[in-house]
Structure 1
Amino acid sequence: MKITFLGAAKTVTGSCFFVETASTKFLVDCGMFQGYSKNNALNEEEFPFNVEELDYIFLTHAHIDHSGRIPRIYIKGFRGQIIATKATVELCAIMLPDSGHIQEYENEWTNRKRLRAGKPPVEPLYTYQDAVNCLELFRKVSYDEVIKINDEIRVRFRDAGHILGSAIIEMWINERGEEIKIVFSGDLGNKDIPILRDPSIIESADYLVIESTYGNRLHNERVDKAEYFLNLINSTIEKGGNVIIPSFAAGRTQELIYELNKKKEVYDEKLKMLFATPVYIDSPMAISATEVFRNNLDCYDEEAREYIENGDNPLDFPGLQFTRTAEESKALNERKESSIIIAASGMCEAGRIRHHLKHNLWRKDSTIIFVGYQAEGTLGRRLLDGAKKVRLFGEEISVEARIEMIEGFSGHADKEGLLKWIERFNRKPKKIFIVHGEEDAMIEFSEEINRRFNIETVIPSRGESFILNAHNVIAIDEKVRPDNSFRILQVVEKLENIKEEVEELSYILKSDLKQDKTDLELDELMAKLKNIEKSILEALK
């Protein structure tokens, strides 16, 4: 068996693993790269295999960084089966067409710029209709059922506890009379996530491919996340500001609603102000995703099912309102009274959230609360990292609002959660491939696995291939390496980082105009900038 890591390799997004057996070719996930503009270029690269020869895509869950290039591979000729849990299929039916709409919208904006520059138009990554058409390939499966794909492959989807329908995939591959078991963790859920069950325990594996989003961090469990959340909301409302929550339409939004509703008796006094303030779910996709939640009660944990059996709707509470149209969304930013607005996308890369940020980032009385992971290069990550100014819709916006992150709402297990999950294997993997993380997180997580379990780990690079067999022999295929275009994109990323840092320095200096600077300090800074300018000019040659 040969596995090639085409995404989520030394990065968090673009999850995609290409597996070739004696007679079958398939992908585990086909996700979109997000964040830096170089990642957008990666989405447009050709797939490094004959798409028409691909037999299956096994999908761990519906988030776009795992499913977002399925319409792209469809228009390139893929007509095999896409196998996923029932809830994942239903969420993809909402999220992929929405992604297609975003691709068309952003392409239209890009082409207007290209037209003004005298350049020819370009096609979108895919369209709304492409995304609708690819849905015909999806096949629903149930949790915990062993499915015979063919004479070579059996699979089982287990609950990953990350979002509704998310799965760990166990896979048994029989080649030449030998069976190998490989497990793909997908995104593993944080323990005690509202509504969802904890991740399933896996008993054994020969090889494990595991995410590492929080591989070097621990969630702050000492803080009652619901109480902290309420305190942030109340302090903002008291100042007359708005609370803006960038939230993934499928997952965090519903869990936030549930958590607030569940706490209404515990925090009765604090909730009075919340329930007296309108809470808007400003995302048609989140509204539709909430309906999918209501239709998949079998995925709920015991506590959530008990609420429903007692006649309580855990996805509703007083003051909660849904906005569907663009006109209703725009009207929210014309309100004089305080509001709580929950809108997608969770990383602030697209959607209505960007409009709400434009109208609130400059307000000192408003608060932006992040409740999910923010990938490198995204607007959400820049805000969390302390950006003083950002550009939205061609306008430079000062960041004066309070920026907060509540990690307890994250759908990802932290370092200890991941390690405890590995610990529960009765028969530990021979080797563990670490994916879906930033490089520093992967390295620390790798070292901890080595120290705690004495298991060898591999941190694959994008485009790197390995041969796996039943005897713990992994031969690196030297022929497969990232192509030169990827190296060029890495240079582009570095230039974009430099650009952001120069803009930040310019902002700091303008802010310090009234402060005294010594001639020596200014001379030293000027000398450094001249060296940077000289290096850039030499690179242009």
Structure 2
Amino acid sequence: MSLSLTIHGAAQTVTGSCIELRAGKSRVLLDCGMFQGSRSLEALNHEPLAFEAPSIDAVILSHAHIDHSGLLPRLAAEGFKGAIWCTGETTDLLEFMLADAGRIQEYEAERRNRRRDRAGEDPFQPIYTERDALAAWRMARPVALGEWFEPAEGFRVRLWNAGHILGAASIEVEAGGVRLLYSGDVGPDNKAFHPDPTSPAGFDYVICESTYGDRARQRVSIEERRRLLEMEIVEARARGGNLVIPAFALERTQELLLDIAELSRSGRIGHAMVFVDSPLASRATTVFGKYAGQLEDTGGRNVFADPAIHYTNDVLESMRLNTMSGAIILSASGMCEAGRIRHHLFYNLPRRDSTILFVGFQAEGSLGRVILDGAQRVRISGRDVRVRAQIRRIESYSAHADQSELLDWITERGPIAGGLFLDHGEKGAIAALQELAQTRKLAPAVIVPEIGESYELSAGQPARRVRTGREDLRPALGSDWQNDCTDLALNLKRRLARIRDSAARQKAIEDMRAVLDSYESFRARKHDRAAK
């Protein structure tokens, strides 16, 4: 008997994690995440699921981040009746994460439908609603780390600490005579709150994330990290404007609060006004408070209740923050793709005295990546915004292992008898990690799958590919035509202004129109030939 594996997401991209395992008549998903980033990538969330939802017997969830859990409500709405197995901490967080995702879906659909540039187009539909989200959360079944359970006939599973965020786990699977380990997202060594990642060794197959497969970060202690944050806060306050930090509501916000509370308590940043402007981050922080006694680096106290920290939930209060100067504003989402952070960027990006501090990974095609890569203008909610603020970055808050830590984690899982799959990474990151894994002979084969690929797995044998991936999805991975179009549109007038002669500017416009007309004519001729 063998085990089949199909990749439905997070292959050569960092979002949309979803792997389907089949053994006999049983079908299990490892994660069911949402695609995030460019519009082309986000459009995949609206496509029909690659499987019939009622045919899935169970979901094993590695952690609560939306790129791993965000399509669970859609799965449930389309007929999934099984259980969603995860740690107790993930169960607690999932209630808030999924409900917030449902509200965002509803809000974004309403907002897009109000935009003038969508007049006459078909209404934009939310992927799911808040009600769908809460229905999915009620299907969660908490299980302790290291405890065997049977989510479906023929499957034995255990969860192990992944050291990534609160409740995050790697997933050990025994099915079809095969022993497999799915890393989920692996945290770095010496991370705040959590012990280092751990799990058993000796597998037929290991599936490992590759987010930072091409990057080696400078090793810093928590105190050294605090000094870097202290410097950014002091310099931002000296400029006189606001310090806006796009922060993932889950884990990144709480790590920042841990450090800001200590810097404030010790008087190193003066009397700073700190606002957590994300209802989701506020709710997630209550879960961290619940487990505060179990978290490392807190001294057993609830540091999230520090008097220097203000939690902003009211929309009007959120809007008033942009009439202030000298405030520290932590707001979600971390890649600036949705939520209140876009409101704060709209008002603070044009201000020369404001600072935007990035502390997390920015996927290709996301607004955060566009800003970080040096765009002079960006588009936010259909409006053009000039980038004048100081753009800064601290990498030491990453919740992902870097290249050397990933290689150590893979090595410690060995020997790997069948093969190593590398997922959850952009192409360059995966290629770098693949080369090193092959050089060090960490597995008989190092496989870089594409979305849609299927493999037959047998104990101690190389994986056998039985279905190729979806070539049509390759253009959607990374920055897409819509990112390039936005960049062109935002900078077109400025570039035309560089042409001093008015007649030459008019000629340039006419030439651009002619190019577009030629493409339209070509497509029309091609369509006519196909019709004949």
TM-score by length of 2: 0.90
**Counterpart-to-counterpart distance in 2, 1:395 and 1:164:** 36
Post-superposition shift, 1:508?
A: 5.5
Distance in 2 of aligned mates of 1:509 and 1:35: 27
Which of 321, 332, 335 is the aligned partner of 1:347? 335
Unaligned runs of 5+ in 1: none
d(CA) in 1 for partners of 2:420, 2:360:
26
Query: What is the deviation of 1:314?
Result: 2.5
* 1:133 Cα deviation from its structure 2 partner: 1.4
The correspondence for 2:449, drawn from 439, 456, 460, is 460
Count of paired positions? 518
Name the residue aligned to 2:231. Answer: 231
Check whether the contact 1:164–1:251 (CA below 8 A) recurs between aligned residues.
yes
Residue in structure 2 matched with residue 125 of structure 1 by the alignment: 127
Contact 2:187 2:400 in 1 (8 A): yes
CA contact (8 A) 1:100 1:127 kept: yes
Residue matched to 1:154: 156
The Cα of 1:236 is off from its aligned counterpart by: 1.4
Identical counterparts, % of pairs: 37
Question: Which residue number in structure 2 is paired with residue 277 of structure 1?
Answer: 272
- 1:255 and 2:255 matched: yes
Contact 1:247 1:346 in 2 (8 A): yes
What amino acid is aligned across from residue 40 of structure 1 in structure 2?
E
Q: Deviations for 1:117-145, whole angstroms, at most 9, x for unmatched residues?
A: 33443431101111111222110111121
Aligned-pair CA distance for 1:481: 3.7
- Equivalent residue of 1:453, what SS? coil
Alignment correspondent of 1:69: 71
Partners in 2 of 1:169 and 1:349 — Cα distance?
A: 29
Equivalent position SS for 1:226: helix
Going from structure 1 to structure 2, the CA distance change for 1:357 and 1:533 (only over 3 Å counts) comes to: same
Residues 198-221 of structure 1: per-residue CA shift (max 9 Å, x gap)? 211432211011110110011233
Give 1:317's match in structure 2, choosing from 282, 306, 309: 306
Contact 2:418 2:460 in 1 (8 A): no
Question: 3-state DSSP class of the match of 1:148?
Answer: coil
Give the direction of change, closer, same or farther, for the CA distance of 1:513–1:321 in structure 2 (3 Å limit).
farther
CA shift, 1:62, in A, is 0.4
Is the counterpart of residue 246 in structure 1 residue 235 in structure 2?
no
Partner Cα separation in structure 2 for residue 342 and residue 414 of structure 1: 25
Distance 1:539 1:420, change over 3 A: farther
Matched, 1:185 2:183: yes
Structure 2: distance between partners of 1:490 and 1:539: 23
3-state SS in 2 of match to 1:62: coil
* Cα distance in 2, alignment partners of residues 248 and 491 from structure 1: 22
Deviates more, 1:141-150 or 1:407-416: 141-150
Matched, 1:292 2:287: yes
SS across alignment from 1:146 = coil
Inter-partner Cα distance in structure 1 for 2:59 and 2:89:
16
Q: Distance in 1 between matches of 2:478 and 2:247?
A: 29
Which residue of structure 1 aligns with residue 529 of structure 2?
A: none
Counterparts of 2:44 and 2:522, CA distance in 1: 24
Corresponding residue number in structure 1 for 2:418: 430
Contact kept, 8 Å, 1:115 with 1:121, in 2: the verdict is: no
Query: CA contact under 8 A between 2:365 and 2:480: conserved in structure 1?
Result: no
Q: Distance between the aligned counterparts of 2:486 and 2:121, measured in 1?
A: 26
Distance change in 2, residues 1:221/1:141 (3 Å):
same
Spell out, residue by residue over 1:231-277, the C-alpha distance to the aligned partner (whole angstroms, 9 max, x if none).
11111111211100111111100011112334567xx4533x2xx02
Measure how far apart 1:536 and its partner are: 3.9
1:506 maps onto 2:492 in alignment: yes
Q: Is the 8 Å Cα contact of residues 211 and 435 (structure 1) preserved in structure 2?
A: yes
Change (3 A) 1:360 1:462: same
Structure 2 partner of 1:209 = 207
Match of 2:404 in 1: 416
- The answer on whether the counterparts of 2:112 and 2:118 sit within 8 Å (CA) in structure 1 is no
8 Å CA contact 1:147–1:155 kept in 2: the answer is: yes
Residues 228 and 108 of structure 1: CA distance in aligned 2, closer, same or farther (over 3 Å): same
Distance in 1, matches of 2:98 and 2:75, equals: 13
Residue 131 of structure 1 aligns to a residue in which SS?
Answer: helix
- Alpha-carbon distance in structure 1 between the residues aligned to 2:36 and 2:166: 22
Shift of 1:61: 0.5
Match of residue 199, structure 1, among 197, 200, 205: 197
Please name the residue that 1:36 is paired with.
38
Tell me, yes or no, if the aligned pair for 1:279 and 1:321 is still in contact at 8 Å: yes
Letter in 2 for 1:227: R
Indicate conservation of the 8 Å contact 2:26/2:153, yes or no: no
The 1-side partners of 2:435 and 2:471 are apart by 29
Deviates more, 1:224-233 or 1:339-348: 224-233
User: Runs of 5+ in structure 2 lacking a partner?
Assistant: 525-532
Indicate how the Cα distance of structure 1 residues 338 and 505 shifts in structure 2: closer, same or farther if over 3 A, else same: closer
Kept after mapping to 2: 8 A contact 1:468/1:474: yes
* 2:355 corresponds to which of 359, 367, 370: 367
Contact map agreement 2:289 2:302 (CA 8 A) in 1:
no
Deviates more, 1:431-440 or 1:106-115: 106-115
Kindly tell me: are residues 62 and 315 of structure 1, through their superposed partners in 2, closer, same or farther at Cα, counting changes over 3 Å?
same
1:376 aligned to 2:364? yes
